[in-house]
Amino acid sequence: MNRLNPLYVGIFLLLLLLFFALKLIDAKKELQQEKILYEKTLKVALDTSALKKAFANKEKEKKEILHILSNPVLKSSNIKKEITNSGIHISSQNMDIKALNFLMGKILNTTFNITMLKIKRISENKSTLEVKIKW
């Protein structure tokens, strides 16, 4: 019978051990890459969730914009508002600077989805305004 040399068995076992060690190192690198990808995905998911909370509540946005428009500073501006299912269209042909500053400060510092904003100066103290907000 042919007998297997123990030296060959030892070399084979060392090669097998080396092969599995290299596989383990590759698996660790892949795990680190997947962990980094998971952390990036988690960050994007959290950001998306925060944006959804800020922009998804139509009724809250509607109440907030109507509350802003009912302010006494804006009463003299003769603001016309058209409310639809998709948003609101606000316009004024004769708005004073104080009212315009107040309205722009309130609208631009909240999380409204402004699709159109047109401001045109008529005189030193008067301007026209057209704003479309989508919800």
Q: For the chain, how many residues are written?
A: 135
Residue 39, both tokens: 């952390």
C-beta of residue 133 within 8 angstroms of C-beta of residue 122: no
The pLDDT value recorded for residue 38 is: 97
What pTM did the predictor assign? 0.59
Condensed to tens digits (0 to 9), the pLDDT of residues 36-73 reads: 999 999 999 999 988 887 777 788 888 899 999 898 88
Condensed to tens digits (0 to 9), the pLDDT of residues 4-42 reads: 788 998 999 999 999 999 999 999 999 999 999 999 999
The residue written with tokens 């008067």 in the block is 126
The pLDDT value recorded for residue 135 is: 79
Confidence of residue 82 (pLDDT cuts 50, 70, 90): very high
1 pLDDT exceeds 60? no
CA atoms of 38 and 51, how far apart (whole Å) = 20
